[in-house]
């Protein structure tokens, strides 16, 4: 204990490298590192929302048009109209959400925004190739991964829903039947809030920079709203990657959840057996299997 206590997460490989006599037990990171290029899919530039905060922090969101097409179309229209240029992060509630947008302003919707989108809280399983999680789920009959996304689903009823995991991005709304429009967004910054699944439109997930939101001061008003506007974190720019010049736009790829690499990654996540772990769980929660995403270099 007088040595640095590592609480190794993915990096047991560092220590294993120092003990060459021992059989190498793969970590999730090892699987990611050794996966072939064919196991990865590039995220289209129109599916990337790039948010630059006034403090210089950048937060990148991958959109999910196959799950919430109308809300995602709204978000793209809002980005192209620079709707968020005077917006802010105005609510940060611990173990829950960071929320951003125009808050109570009456800013009119730009052209192309559908003010009353349909529900889009679920979609048909038909047309999705789902890799089952293989562990029980408390919130849906089944859980798994479709097209790179964590989902709850019912094979019997035929619905799938994007799961509210850490860093999931959804659309703020008022009481039902309002479904929100896309101008107000929240990101989960605490334990997975799966009870929100099938009750609100999920439109994506933060794939880079979630810590820029999760480390913001918590609001002290009810529900984590900031008391004074002076506490808001202004948004400098919120654009699609496709609005950024090709040489400057960031690019990312995610692991194909139908690939053999992902199957191996999932298995190891459920059975951690590297040097730090004594008793592999033999199971894993849907939200503890974060689909690997990495930056592409040009």
- 55, 82, 124, 195: residue in contact with its own copies (rule CB under 8 A): 195
CA atoms of 180 and 178, how far apart (whole Å): 6
Q: Which positions from 143 through 172 interact with its own copies, judged by CB under 8 A?
A: 165-167, 172
Q: How many CA atoms lie within 13 A of 21 on its CB side?
A: 0
Q: Which positions from 2 through 61 interact with its own copies, judged by CB under 8 A?
A: 2-9, 11, 14-15
Residue 21 tokens read as 């006599």
Closest CA to 241 of 51, 74, 102: 51
- 41, 69, 77, 275: residue in contact with its own copies (rule CB under 8 A): 275
Find the distance separating the first CA and the last CA of the chain, reported in whole Å. Answer: 44
Nearer to its own copies, 212 or 239 (CB): 212
Closest CA to 172 of 90, 232, 77: 90
Using the Cα atoms of residue 182, residue 168, residue 229 and residue 179 in order, give the sign of their dihedral. Answer: positive
Q: Which positions from 58 through 117 interact with its own copies, judged by CB under 8 A?
A: 92-97, 99, 101-107, 115
Angle at 98 between CA 95 and CA 101, to 5 degrees: 160
On whether the CB atoms of residues 287 and 166 are closer than 8 A, the answer is: yes
Chain-centre distance for alpha carbon 217: 21
- 27, 193, 243, 264: residue in contact with its own copies (rule CB under 8 A): 193
Nearer to its own copies, 39 or 170 (CB): 170
Q: Which positions from 201 through 230 interact with its own copies, judged by CB under 8 A?
A: 210-211, 214-218, 222-223, 225
Residues 6+ apart with CB under 8 A from 85: 235, 237, 238
Instruction: Tell me: does residue 123 bind its own copies (CB under 8 A).
Output: no
Instruction: Tell me: does residue 173 bind its own copies (CB under 8 A).
Output: yes
CA atoms of 122 and 61, how far apart (whole Å): 20
In whole angstroms, the minimum distance from the beta carbon of 50 to its own copies comes to: 19
Chain-centre distance for alpha carbon 193: 13
- 136, 156, 247, 298: residue in contact with its own copies (rule CB under 8 A): 136
In whole angstroms, the minimum distance from the beta carbon of 108 to its own copies comes to: 9
- Total of chain residues touching its own copies, rule CB under 8 A: 82
Nearer to its own copies, 11 or 42 (CB): 11
Nearer to its own copies, 63 or 188 (CB): 188
What are the Cα distances from residue 247, in Å, to 42, 53, 236, 250, 254? Answer: 16, 21, 20, 9, 21
In whole angstroms, the minimum distance from the beta carbon of 38 to its own copies comes to: 29
Q: Which stretch binds its own copies (CB under 8 A): 42-50, 64-72, 241-249, 284-292?
A: 284-292
Q: Which residue has the tokens 């097209």?
A: 147
Instruction: Tell me: does residue 129 bind its own copies (CB under 8 A).
Output: no
Q: Which stretch binds its own copies (CB under 8 A): 42-50, 239-247, 259-267, 276-284?
A: 276-284
Nearer to its own copies, 227 or 298 (CB): 227
């Amino acid at each position: 204990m007088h040595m640095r206590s590592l609480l190794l997460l993915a990096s047991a490989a560092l220590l294993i490298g120092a003990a060459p006599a021992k059989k190498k037990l793969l970590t999730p990171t090892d699987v990611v590192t050794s996966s072939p290029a064919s196991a990865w899919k590039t995220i289209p530039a129109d599916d990337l929302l790039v948010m630059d905060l006034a403090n210089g922090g950048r937060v990148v969101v991958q959109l999910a048009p196959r799950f919430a097409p109308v809300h995602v179309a709204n978000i793209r229209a809002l980005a192209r109209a620079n709707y968020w240029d005077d917006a802010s992060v105005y609510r940060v509630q611990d173990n829950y959400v960071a929320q951003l947008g125009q808050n109570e302003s009456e800013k009119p919707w730009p052209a192309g925004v559908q003010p009353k989108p349909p529900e889009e809280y679920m979609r048909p399983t038909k047309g999705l190739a789902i890799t089952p999680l293989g562990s029980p789920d408390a919130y849906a009959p089944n859980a798994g991964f479709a097209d790179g996304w964590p989902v709850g689903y019912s094979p019997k009823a035929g619905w799938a829903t994007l799961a509210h995991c850490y860093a999931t991005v959804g659309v703020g709304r008022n009481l039902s039947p309002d479904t929100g429009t896309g101008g107000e967004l929240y990101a989960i910054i605490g334990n997975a809030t799966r009870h929100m699944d099938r009750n609100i439109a999920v439109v994506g997930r933060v794939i880079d920079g979630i810590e820029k939101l999760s480390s913001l001061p918590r609001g002290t008003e009810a529900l984590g709203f900031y008391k004074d506007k002076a506490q808001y974190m202004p948004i400098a720019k919120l654009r699609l990657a496709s609005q950024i010049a090709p040489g400057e736009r960031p690019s990312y790829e995610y692991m194909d959840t139908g690939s053999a690499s992902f199957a191996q990654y999932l298995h190891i996540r459920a059975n951690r057996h590297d040097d730090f772990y004594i008793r592999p769980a033999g199971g894993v929660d849907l939200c503890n299997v974060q689909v690997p995403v990495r930056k592409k270099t040009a």
